[in-house]
Structure 1
Amino acid sequence: MDDLRDSQKATIQDALDMGELTIGRGLNQQLGLSRACDTRWGSHYKSFNNFILMFGSIVEVLESLALDARSMDERANAMGHLESCQTFEVAFMLHLMRDVLAISNELNKCLQRKEQDVANVMLLVEVAKKRLQVLRDDEWNSLIAKVSIFCTKHEILIPNFEEPYVSSLRSRRRLAHYTVLHHYRVEVFCNIIDRQLQELNDRFNEVSIDLLHGIACLNPINSFSSFDSKKIMRMVELYPNDFDEFNMDTLENQLASYIVDVRDVDERFSDLNGLFATASVERAFSAMKFIKNDLRSQMSDDFFSGCLVPFVEKDVFDSIPNDAIIKTFQDMKPRKVQL
C-alpha cells in the first residue's frame, strides 16, 4: 500500500508538470482500492473507476513486487496478477462495468435519499432501464474507443476483431466458431447489460409496480394530488386472503370518505410534505436486525423500541446534550444514586 501511494503521488506530480492536471482545492485526491465484497447500500462503481484511474500505479507496484519477491510463490503470484491486468479483456471489462454500474449506482443513490418518495421511484427505474438500453444499442463504438485509448496509453495489445476468438480456457488448436468482435459485443457486452435489465425487471415486476403505485397514492404532497382510489383498490387485490368482496366494497366507500377528510375537513393534514421514503423503511429494518440479534433476542418490546428510536434517529439525538439526557433520566423517579 505504501508503494501504491508513492506511485500515485509520482504519477500525479508528473501529470501536473506536463499540464495534464490543474491545481485546486479538493482536486487530485489520493484514491484507494476497496476489498471486493458483497454490498448492500452501494455498488462497486467506485472500485472500478478507481482501478482505471490507478491502473498505471497498480501495474508499477506489481512489477516491483515481482522483482523484489522473497520467494518463488510470491513472484509467481505477482506475475500472474500482472499478466492478467495487462490484457485487453481486463481493460474492456473494467470500462464496461464502470459504465453499467454508473447507471445503476445513480439509481441506487437516488433511492436512498431520505426525501425520496415512492411516487418518483418508478420514474427513476424507467430512466435506468432506458439508459441501459441506449448503452446497449448505441454506445458500443464509444466504449471500444475508450478502451482502445486506455490500451494504447498502457501498452496493452488490442486484438484483431475479425480474427477467431481464442479463449484462455480453450486449446489454441480448437478455435471458436465466432470472431473476437462477436465474443466481446454479443457474449460479454450485450449479455451483461441484458442481465442488468433483467435484474431491474425482476425487482420491479408488475406486482411490485402495482404495490408501489398504490402506496404512492397516499402521498400527502399538494393536498394528496396523487390520490387515486382505483390504484389503491388494485393494490388491495394483491391481498385476497385479507380482503373479501364485502371488505373491498367497504374499503372503496372508506377511501371516498378519507380523501374528503384529509383534503377539506381535518386541518392537521394541510401542511404535510411527505410520508414515504424508500430507504428509510429498509434502514429501520436493518437497525432492528442490528439491535435485536441472536445474542439479544429476549428483550421486551418497550426496551427494544427505546433502543431502536435513538438508533434510527441518531441525527436528532446527536444534537441533544448528555447533561439533558442524564437530568431527564434522573427526574423520572427517585433514585439512590445521583448520576
Structure 2
Amino acid sequence: MVGASFKRRDELREAQADEIEEALRKGELESGKGLNQELGLARAGDTRWGSHYKSFNNFILMFGPIIDVLDAIAVNARFEEKCRAKGYLRTCLAFEVVFMLHFMRNVLAITNDLNAAYQKKEQDIANAMLLVGVAKDRLQRLRDKGWNSLIDEVSEFCIKYDISIPKFDEFYVISGRSRRRVAEYTVLHHYQVYVFYQIIDWQRQELNNRFDEVTTDLLLGVSCLNPIDSFSHFDNEFHPDDFDKYSMVDLRFQLENYIVDVRDHDKRFSNLKGLCNLSKILVETKKHGTYPLVFRLVKFALLLPVATATVERVFSAMKLIKTDLRN
C-alpha cells in the first residue's frame, strides 16, 4: 500500500517525524546523536528468522504513522485502494493482531542473538552452542513468568491507540463464525493456552530438533579442533555415523597426533580465526592428506549449517507449488 507510491512514502516519513516530535515534547524519548533514526518496513524473508524480528519490531515502533497513512488512503484514494486500506486498518486495530505483534516480537527477540551468531562468516561454535541453551532457558522463563507482563504491555499499547480490549472471562468467539456460535473456552484460555503456551512450546521443540544431543556434541567437539584455544575443551569424543568402529580407532590416534603437531610444532597454525581458516590451512599445508579423518570432521562442521539453510530454502520454495488447491 505504501511502497508503490512516493507520495505515500513521504506521508509515512512525515507521520513518523510528527510522532517522534510529539514524543520528544512529552519527554517520552531522549534526543541525541544517533537516536530516533527513521525506520522502514522491512519485508520478512522466508529463510532468515532475524528478518521477521525486525519486521515485527519496526511495525510496532511505526504503528502510529502506519495507522495515519492507512486512514488517509481510506479517505482519499481510489475506490479499490480505499477498500483495501479500510480492511488493513480494521485488521491493525484488532486486539488479536496487536497481541501477536508484541508476542512474536518478544519470542523472536530471544532467538535473535542465536540467529546472528550462526550467520557470521567466522563462527565461534562453542559460544553459539551456549546461546542455544540460553534461548531455551529464556523461552521457558517467558512461558513460566512472562504472561502477565505481556498482557500489561499489550493493554498499554491498546489504550494508547484506542483499541478495544476483550473481556478475558467471556467465551471466545472463533473468527468467521456467528457470535452465537462461541467456543467452549474463555478468551483468556484461548490466548494463554492455545497461543502463548503453544507457540513457545513449538519454538522450544524446533530448537531441540535442530540442535539435538548428537548434533550438539559433534559441533562442540569439532570446534575444539581449532588450536587457537590450545584444545582446552578437547575430550576425544566423536561419534558421527560416517565413522565405523575401525575408523574410530584410527581417528583417536590421528587426533592425538594432530594436536601435538599443530600446537607444538607447526607454527603456521598459530594465528587461526575459525574453522574456515583452519580448513584452508590444512589444505595449503597438505595436512588434510596426513590427517584425513580429522579433515573429515572439519568438513562436517562447515557443511552442517549450509545443509540446514538449504533445507530451509527448499521448504520455502515448496510454498509455490504446495497450495490448498493443489492439496
Alignment-mate amino acid for residue 137 of structure 1: D
**111 and 37 in structure 1: CA distance in 2 versus 1, 3 angstrom threshold:** closer
Q: Distance in 1 between matches of 2:272 and 2:233?
A: 13
Counterpart residue number, 1:100: 107
Q: CA deviation at 1:120?
A: 2.0
Moved more, 187-196 or 213-222: 213-222
Q: CA deviation at 1:215?
A: 0.8
Counterpart residue number, 1:299: none
Q: Distance in 1 between matches of 2:81 and 2:121?
A: 47
3-state DSSP class of the match of 1:42? helix
Match of 1:161 among 156, 165, 168: 168
Q: CA deviation at 1:264?
A: 3.3
Q: CA deviation at 1:141?
A: 0.3
User: Is 2:112 the partner of 1:113?
Assistant: no
Alignment-mate amino acid for residue 95 of structure 1: H
Query: Which is greater in Rg?
Result: 1
User: Is 2:250 the partner of 1:250?
Assistant: yes
Counterpart residue number, 1:125: 132
Post-superposition Cα deviations, 1:42-68, rounded to whole Å, max 9, x if no partner, equal 331111111111111111111111111
1:162–1:181 contact (8 Å) kept in structure 2: yes
**Normalised by the size of structure 2, how large is the TM-score?**
0.78
Q: CA deviation at 1:115?
A: 4.6
Counterpart residue number, 2:70: 62
Q: CA deviation at 1:39?
A: 3.7
Q: Distance in 2 between matches of 1:113 and 1:83?
A: 40
**110 and 249 in structure 1: CA distance in 2 versus 1, 3 angstrom threshold:** closer
2:45–2:51 contact (8 Å) kept in structure 1: no
Moved more, 248-257 or 162-171: 248-257
Counterpart residue number, 1:13: 21
3-state DSSP class of the match of 2:81? helix
**246 and 91 in structure 1: CA distance in 2 versus 1, 3 angstrom threshold:** closer
**224 and 95 in structure 1: CA distance in 2 versus 1, 3 angstrom threshold:** same
2:94–2:164 contact (8 Å) kept in structure 1: yes
Counterpart residue number, 2:31: 23
Counterpart residue number, 1:200: 207
Post-superposition Cα deviations, 1:14-55, rounded to whole Å, max 9, x if no partner, equal 222233223211111111112344243733111111111111
Q: Which segments of 5 or more consecutive residues in structure 2 lack a partner in the other structure? A: 1-8, 277-297, 311-327
CA RMSD of aligned residues (A): 2.5
Counterpart residue number, 1:259: 259
Alignment-mate amino acid for residue 30 of structure 1: E
Counterpart residue number, 1:33: 41
Counterpart residue number, 2:227: 220
Q: Percent identity, aligned pairs only?
A: 59
2:98–2:158 contact (8 Å) kept in structure 1: yes
Counterpart residue number, 2:291: none
1:164–1:178 contact (8 Å) kept in structure 2: yes
Counterpart residue number, 1:80: 87
**106 and 166 in structure 1: CA distance in 2 versus 1, 3 angstrom threshold:** same
1:69–1:75 contact (8 Å) kept in structure 2: yes
Q: Distance in 2 between matches of 1:43 and 1:200?
A: 18
3-state DSSP class of the match of 2:275? coil
Counterpart residue number, 2:322: none
2:171–2:183 contact (8 Å) kept in structure 1: yes
Alignment-mate amino acid for residue 253 of structure 2: N
Q: CA deviation at 1:111?
A: 2.4
Post-superposition Cα deviations, 1:66-119, rounded to whole Å, max 9, x if no partner, equal 111222x22221111111111110110010011011111121112233453222
User: Is 2:46 the partner of 1:47?
Assistant: no
3-state DSSP class of the match of 2:230? helix
How many aligned positions are there?
Answer: 277
1:220–1:274 contact (8 Å) kept in structure 2: no
Alignment-mate amino acid for residue 255 of structure 1: L
2:123–2:274 contact (8 Å) kept in structure 1: no
Q: CA deviation at 1:7?
A: 0.9
**Normalised by the size of structure 1, how large is the TM-score?**
0.75
2:39–2:62 contact (8 Å) kept in structure 1: yes
2:50–2:108 contact (8 Å) kept in structure 1: no
User: Is 2:190 the partner of 1:183?
Assistant: yes
**41 and 185 in structure 1: CA distance in 2 versus 1, 3 angstrom threshold:** closer
1:219–1:227 contact (8 Å) kept in structure 2: no
